[in-house]
């Protein structure tokens, strides 16, 4: 009984120490993430609870300013601007093949029909993320054919987000993304994790081509 009590007390104290660490000035500073082929971004968490986020993808770049707060061991980010609720997801479906396979093949191209590598492809059930992957150098990736998935989301900075309703009989897609002239990067209650001077954005997954899957503190 005593052993159980001590374990419970230790767990509570340890949990509190983690939360306390997030409230110290050590969290303030600038963090950088390196992707692949000229894709990178930085975020600076300021002491006045504002942030400056800058991204670069080849010749494209942009800046977002907003506010941040701590909830437990998480950092919640909200940009100054928010997307309109009736925002249109505009794209072109070039090909959709109907076959019965246990995986879904996806190819993504730019308006110029060149391959778009490192686009984020996500299968969702309503708002729940089921599985996620990046396109490769050929603009291709594969996802498991999940019956519960109702939509396929494809994102890449500088292009309009694809939100495609899933068809359980289609196992091969080719999409052409359209440029987003409003290249603003929105944050709406984005929940990141802070751990040992590193910031973890849940949209950045481990990938063999990416240099890292976290933001490293640089100052």
Q: If you write DSSP's letter for every residue of 18-73 in order, what string do you get?
A: HHHHHTSGGG-EEEEEE-STTEEEEEEE-TTSEEEEEEEETTEEEEEEEEEEEETT
Residues 104 and 167 in one domain: yes
Domain membership flag for residue 86: no
Query: What local confidence, expressed as pLDDT, does residue 184 receive?
Result: 77
Domain that holds residue 117: 91-177
Number of domains in the chain: 2
Residues 195 and 170 in one domain: no
Residues 21 and 44 in one domain: yes
Query: What local confidence, expressed as pLDDT, does residue 134 receive?
Result: 92
Query: What local confidence, expressed as pLDDT, does residue 2 receive?
Result: 42
- Residue pair 106/175 in contact (Cβ under 8 Å)? The answer is yes
pLDDT tens for the chain, residues 1 to 219: 444 434 444 444 434 444 445 665 678 999 999 877 778 899 999 999 999 999 988 777 889 999 999 988 889 999 998 876 545 566 777 767 766 678 899 999 998 899 998 899 999 988 788 899 999 999 999 998 888 888 999 988 878 888 898 877 788 899 999 887 666 788 989 999 998 889 998 877 665 556 678 899 998
Residues 96 and 169 in one domain: yes
Query: What count of residues does the chain have?
Result: 219
Residues 192 and 136 in one domain: no
Residues 134 and 76 in one domain: no
Residues 75 and 95 in one domain: no
Q: Give the CATH number for residue 151.
A: 2.60.40.10
């Amino acid at each position: 009984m005593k052993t159980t009590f001590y374990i419970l007390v230790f767990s509570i104290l340890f949990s509190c120490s983690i939360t306390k660490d997030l409230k110290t000035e050590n969290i303030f500073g600038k963090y950088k993430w390196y992707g692949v082929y000229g894709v990178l971004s930085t975020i600076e968490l300021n002491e006045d609870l504002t942030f400056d986020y800058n991204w670069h993808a080849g010749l494209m770049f942009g800046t977002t300013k907003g506010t941040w707060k701590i909830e437990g061991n998480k950092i919640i980010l909200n940009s100054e601007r928010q997307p309109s609720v009736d925002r249109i997801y505009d794209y072109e479906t070039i090909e959709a093949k109907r076959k019965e396979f246990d995986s879904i093949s996806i190819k993504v191209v730019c308006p110029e029909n060149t391959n778009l590598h490192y686009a984020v492809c996500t299968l969702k059930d309503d708002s729940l993320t089921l599985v996620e992957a990046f396109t490769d150098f050929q603009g291709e990736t594969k996802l498991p054919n999940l019956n519960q998935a109702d939509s396929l989301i494809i994102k890449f900075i500088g292009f309009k987000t694809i939100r495609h309703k899933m068809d359980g009989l289609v196992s091969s897609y080719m999409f052409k993304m359209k440029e987003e002239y409003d290249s603003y990067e929105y944050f709406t209650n984005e929940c990141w994790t802070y751990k040992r001077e590193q910031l973890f954005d849940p949209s950045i997954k481990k990938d063999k081509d990416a240099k890292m899957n976290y933001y490293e503190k640089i100052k």
